[in-house]
């Protein structure tokens, strides 16, 4: 009997110590959370304020053309320049694993794809690198004579979301980008991008044309005809030089 009482006493002491520890821990948590709100609702840690919910980051828009550096399906090194001196270029980001891309590859073999595009636009196909695409498969899909760059880095540089995707680069700048299911749709996107850029720069072109006409006439910056002649200030009561005596 004595042993049983002693065991119960020890168990009671242990439970008391445990309860005291839990109460202290709970009090410390409440202290760190701070006082409850005035309306009596419990405080919720790390909860953003109403109206300030973090929004997901949008995909940044690429504005400058990045040179393509990679390899051909034949495993040769290849670099395609896209600077200011490069011709207008349409980058076709294609894959070997999507049905829509297969139609684009087939149209390229049938010569119907490039005929939908302006003749002055250079077409370059871009696939992911050999670690993510099969060079032999891409070599079978790509028609002869079409530049094909296998480069995963290019997909990252131009922030391509998925294939097929097209980016139009002119004078070192990205003028338009998007996706479509046919070459006709891509041709429409390309035409809109060119026309929109022409509309935005119409004022700059007119200014440049005026400057060229003036320069051809020998009128450049600082020419007297471009600014009023300095004239002495007229005093009070003095007649204007162009007027006779009153």
Convert the pLDDT of each residue in 46-100 to its tens digit.
443 333 333 333 344 558 899 999 999 999 999 999 999 999 999 999 999 888 9
> Average pLDDT for residues 167-172, to the nearest whole number?
93
Q: What is the pLDDT of residue 49?
A: 39
Q: Are strands 68-71 and 165-170 parallel, antiparallel or unpaired?
A: unpaired
Q: Residue with structure tokens 């980008």?
A: 177
**Can you list the domains of the chain with their CATH numbers?**
68-202 (3.40.30.10)
Q: What integer pLDDT is reported at residue 209 of this predicted model?
A: 60
What is the value of pTM for the model shown?
Answer: 0.56
Q: What is the pLDDT of residues 177-204, one digit of tens each?
A: 998 888 888 888 788 777 766 665 555 5
């Amino acid at each position: 009997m004595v042993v049983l009482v002693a065991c119960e006493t020890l168990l009671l002491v242990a439970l008391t110590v445990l309860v005291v520890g839990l109460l202290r821990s709970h009090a410390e948590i409440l202290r760190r959370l701070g006082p409850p709100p005035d309306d009596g609702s419990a405080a919720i840690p790390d909860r953003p304020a109403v109206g300030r919910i973090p929004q997901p980051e949008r995909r940044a828009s690429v504005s400058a053309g990045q040179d393509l550096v990679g390899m051909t399906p034949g495993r040769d090194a290849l670099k395609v320049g896209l600077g200011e001196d490069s011709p207008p270029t349409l980058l076709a980001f294609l894959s070997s694993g999507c049905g829509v891309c297969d139609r684009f590859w087939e149209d390229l073999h049938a010569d119907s794809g490039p005929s939908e595009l302006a003749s002055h636009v250079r077409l370059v196909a871009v696939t992911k690198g050999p670690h993510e695409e099969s060079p032999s498969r891409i070599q079978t899909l790509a028609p002869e004579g079409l530049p094909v760059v296998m480069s995963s880095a290019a997909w990252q540089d131009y922030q391509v979301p998925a294939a097929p995707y097209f980016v139009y680069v002119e004078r070192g700048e990205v003028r338009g980008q998007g996706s479509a299911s046919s070459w006709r749709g891509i041709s429409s996107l390309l035409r809109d991008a060119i026309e929109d850029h022409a509309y935005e720069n119409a004022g700059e072109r007119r200014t440049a044309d005026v400057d060229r006409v003036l320069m051809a006439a020998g009128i450049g910056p600082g020419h007297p005809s471009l600014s009023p002649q300095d004239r002495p200030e007229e005093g009070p009561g003095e007649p204007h030089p162009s007027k006779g005596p009153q």
